[in-house]
Amino acid sequence: MSALQDLLEYQRLDGELRKIDLELNATEEKKKLNQAKVVMRNAELRIAAEDKRAVELKALRDSLIVRADEIAKAIAEYSEVEELVEGGGDVAFYKKSAQQLLEKLRALKQDLTRMLAEVEQLSAEYKKLMEQGKQMNKQRKEYSEKYKEVHARYEDRIQELTQKMEETAKSLPPEMLDRYHQKRKEKIFPVLVPLKGDMCVCGMDLPLAQRNRLAGGNVIECENCHRFIYNK
- For Zn ion, the closer of residues 46 and 184 by Cβ is 184
Nearest distance, CB of residue 22 and Zn ion, angstroms: 22
Distance CA 192, CA 85 (A): 99
Binding mask 185-214 for Zn ion (x = CB under 5 A): ---------------x-x-x----------
Residues in the chain: 232
One of 13, 180, 222, 228 touching Zn ion (CB under 5 A): 222
- Give the Å distances, CA to CA, from 45 to 5, 33, 34, 41, 91: 49, 19, 17, 6, 58
- For Zn ion, the closer of residues 212 and 224 by Cβ is 224
- For Zn ion, the closer of residues 214 and 222 by Cβ is 222
Binding mask 88-127 for Zn ion (x = CB under 5 A): ----------------------------------------
Distance CA 210, CA 219 (A): 10
Distance CA 30, CA 146 (A): 9
Nearest distance, CB of residue 204 and Zn ion, angstroms: 5
Collapsed DSSP state (helix, strand, coil) of residue 198: coil
Whether residue 198 contacts residue 231, with contact meaning beta carbons closer than 8 Å, is answered with no
- For Zn ion, the closer of residues 171 and 218 by Cβ is 218
Nearest distance, CB of residue 228 and Zn ion, angstroms: 10
- Give the Å distances, CA to CA, from 232 to 145, 189, 203, 218: 46, 18, 17, 11
One of 54, 171, 225, 231 touching Zn ion (CB under 5 A): 225
Q: Which residues bind Zn ion (CB under 5 A)?
A: 200, 202, 204, 222, 224-225
